[in-house]
Amino acid sequence: MLRPAVFLDRDGTINIDFGYIKDPNLVKLFPFVPEGIKLLKNFGFKIIVISNQAGISYGIMTHADVKNVNNKINELLLGFDTYIDAFYYCPFHPDYNSPEEALCRKPSPDMIVQASKELQLDLMKSYMVGDKSSDILCGLNAGVKTVLLDYEGNTEEINILQNQGKKPNFVAANFIEVYNFITSDYTENSN
């Protein structure tokens, strides 16, 4: 049976983005993220991280660095009795890699499509949450509903989307608003 999922960007969405994070000790989750993830999982969603990690192509970090940071995120979440079900990341960038290699990079829906096949996810009932226009475009390209998480009230990402004639289904100021929108929208559209 297919399960609904909430796809989350990583840096800037669930943890503070200090720029190419490779030291797990620098990982700091945003307020309400652990509680929100736990509530979404309890509601029945799989939680999947979808992130671009071009720092690998730039030579700033390694695959091991990315995995160590991912493990640290789950370690912190386990303190709240929850966890991320799976992490997917694209290590490539078109400036450093071939166009074929960089196909996985958001706004491409490739990572969402791959996760949906491997984890038997129902994209018709799934959501993408992120802090950048590329996250929203990724979700739209995959056919899932989208939430722009705007912690700082910055209109730049909305403007980028509007210039392309696109918009998210919802704009949230924090992770509790993300949870409230997704569960309300899901309940409303499942009847």
Q: Please identify every residue annotated as catalytic.
A: 9, 11
Q: Show contacts of 69-76: CB within 8 Å, 24+ apart.
A: 69/21, 69/22, 69/23, 69/24, 69/27, 70/10, 71/24, 72/24, 72/25, 72/27, 73/10, 73/14, 73/15, 73/27, 73/29, 73/49, 76/27, 76/29, 76/34
**Taking a C-beta distance cutoff of 8 angstroms, is the pair 154, 161 a contact?**
no
Distances (CA, A) of 45 to 38, 52, 107, 164, 187: 10, 22, 22, 30, 12
CA–CA dist 106, 102 (Å, integer): 9
